[in-house]
A = this chain, B = another copy of it.
Amino acid sequence: MRKEKPGAPTNRIIATLPTTERNDLRRRCKLAELEPGEVIAEPGQQIRQVYFPTSASISTIAMVDGQNSLEVSLVGREGMYGIPLALGVSVSSWRATVLCGGSALRMSAEDFHTMLNISPGLRRVLQRYTHVIVSQIAQVAVCACYHLVESRLARWMLMTHDRVSSDTFHVTHELLAEMLGVRRAGVSTAAGSLQTREVISYTRGKVTVLDRKGLEAAACDCYAASEKVYASFLG
C-alpha cells in the first residue's frame, strides 16, 4: 500500500475509527485510481469490493423499466460504497459508476467482513451511515416528486461540490438527465438558466461553480435537509 502524504485527502468514515481499528482497516485496503465512467457494480451482480473514496465520487443509480434510471445516492469521501455487504446482502440492487475520477481505498468483500467482525467502531459508524443513506434516498423520492428540474439540478451540483473538493468537475447533460430522471433537453434548459444568472458556467461537460450562495438559493430545501441529516449523525 502506498503511503499517503500528510494532509492528503482522507475518507471520513475511516477517519472516525480509533487508531488501532483504522490501521487494521488501512492494512487491508489498496489505493485505487478510479476513472470517470468506470462501472463498479451492476444490478443483480455480486459486490466483490467495497470503496472508501478519498477524492473520487461514486453514483449509485436505480434502473427502471429497462430504459429509465434515477440516482439514489451519491458517495464521496464522506461515505462508502458497499453498504449491502454490511447488511448481510452480497448482491447490488443498483448500478454504481464512478462519476468524478480520483482515488479511493478499496477492500475485498472478504476483508470487509473480517473488519466488521473485529471492529466495533466500524460496525457502529456504518450503522449510522446506513441511516444517513436511507434518509437521503427518501429525500431523493420527495425531491423527484415535488421539485422543479432546476432546483433539483442545483441540489445535485451542491452535493457534488461538497463531495469533490473543487469548484470544477465533469459531467454531461446526458448523464445528469439519467441521474435526475428527466430529459437531456430538460437539463440543458435548467443549466442554461443557472448559467444566465452566472451561478455556474458550463462547457462541454465541464461545470464550474461560480456562485455557491446563488446555487444554494436556487436549490430546494432538500439540500439543506440532507446536509443536516449528515451533520447530525456523522458530523
A residues with a Cβ closer than 8 A to B are 62, 64-65, 68, 70, 72, 83-84, 86-89, 93-94, 124, 127-128, 130-131, 133-135, 137-142, 144-146, 181, 220-221, 229, 233
Contacts and interface: CB of A to CB of B under 8 A. Distances in A.
A130 B84 CA distance: 9
B87 A130 contact: yes
A221 B65 contact: yes
A142 B62 contact: yes
B127 A87 contact: yes
A233 B90 CA distance: 11
Nearest to A182: B145
Contacts of A65: 146, 220-221
Contact of A145 (B70, B86, B137): B70
A207 to B, nearest CB: 23
A142 B64 contact: yes
Interface of A is mostly: helix
Contacts of A146: 64-65, 68, 70, 181
Contacts of A93: 134-135, 138, 229
Contacts of A131: 84, 87-89
Contact of A89 (B84, B86, B128, B145): B128
Nearest to A180: B145
A84 B133 CA distance: 12
Contacts of A133: 134
A209 B140 CA distance: 31
Nearest to A135: B93
Contacts of A128: 87-89
Contacts of A84: 131
B62 A138 contact: yes
A93 to B, nearest CB: 5
